[in-house]
Amino acid sequence: MPFVTEELWQTLPKRVGEGLTPDGKARTITRAAYPAEQSAWRDDAAVTVLELLQEVTTTVRTVRAELGVPPSRKLTLVIEGASAADREVLEAHAEYLRRLARLESFDFADSVAQHPDTVRRVVGDMRLHLPLAGIVDRSAETSRAERELGKLAKQLASLNGKLGNPKFLERAAPAVVAEAEAQLEVAQRRREQLERMLAELTG
Instruction: Dump pLDDT digits (tens) for 6-64.
Output: 888 788 776 656 777 777 777 888 777 776 777 777 888 999 999 999 999 999 999 99
Q: Report the Cα 59 to chain-centroid distance in Å.
A: 6
All structural domains of the chain with their residue ranges: 2-41, 44-131, 138-202
131: left (phi over 0), alpha (psi -120 to 50) or beta: beta
Sign of CA dihedral 185, 188, 194, 199: negative
Residue 136, judged by CB atoms within 10 A of its CB (0-12, 13-18, 19+), counts as buried
Low-confidence ranges of the chain (pLDDT < 50): none
CA distance linking residue 143 with residue 197, whole number of Å: 11
According to CATH, the topology of domain 138-202 is Helix Hairpins (1.10.287)
Residues 6+ apart with CB under 8 A from 17: none
Beta bridge partners of residue 75, listed in sequence order: 103
